[in-house]
Amino acid sequence: MSIDVCAGCPVRDRALCRCLDDEERVVLTGLCQRRRVAAGETVMWAGDDSRICANLLSGVLKAVAATADGREQIVGLSYPADFVGEPYAAEIGFTVTALTDAELCTFPRRPFERFLEQHARMGNLLLQHTLKALSEARARMLTLARLSAGEKVAGLLLDMAVRAGTSAGRPGLEGPVTFELPMTRGHMADVLGMTIETVSRQLTKLKGAGVIVLSGARTVTIVDARGLRRRAVAA
């Protein structure tokens, strides 16, 4: 893979490798392989040997854990520029599957670990990303435990709007903004610990209040960003 490919990378300024200079990036790209996956395709299986890490270039992935009764629970979402995988872990902790068509820049785990050990800036940035993911996981636990159904759905919409690259979720900035939901209502229900019917009811309430407009199965327009943030105030 050449440095010219990196020059056209859609997440170059946001991904983990943004801290590298051109010479360092040439070395890293020598380890890299681009991989395209279709929606529904599994990238990593929980319990398998940890063989790869990756930067997500496009699309959305879900991390899934199996419950004791065999059901699946979405425990995390990855968006473009996110890092996927667990360096220094011998075994994969969660199954990672594509929610949408996606493209990844993958690295074999052990050579990637050696690269991290030789490039402290990138190792420090990975630590920051890991701590941020831990903080988000703790916030998600609070969401599931304390918030109302309306607050949960409003908060998730804001999060998806921000990660989709819109400004609607940022304080002081208003809609309308339109984006495609990266997941079905069933997936939203899994993330929030709710039923599909409850998610649908809350979306209908937001639509009836003039906060959002729903077009088709996946297209959402946030008409009243301030109102949506107000409904997610506890999130």
Tokens of 100: 């949408």
* Same domain for 177 and 89: no
User: Mean pLDDT, consecutive 10-residue segments, the chain of 235 residues?
Assistant: 66 86 88 93 95 94 85 85 92 93 95 93 87 76 78 90 62 69 89 92 95 89 91 70
Q: Which of 144, 160, 181 is the last residue of a domain?
A: 144
Q: Report how far residue 157's alpha carbon sits from residue 163's, in angstroms, rounded to the nearest whole number.
A: 10
Do residue 109 and residue 159 come from a single domain? no
- DSSP 3-state of 207: helix
Residues 199 and 171 both lie in one domain: yes
Question: Cα-atom radius of gyration of the chain, to the nearest Å?
Answer: 19
pLDDT for the residue numbered 165: 62
pLDDT of 172:
46
80 and 110 in a single domain? The answer is yes
Q: How many domains does the chain have?
A: 2
Do strands 52-58 and 83-84 pair parallel, antiparallel, or not at all (unpaired)? Answer: antiparallel
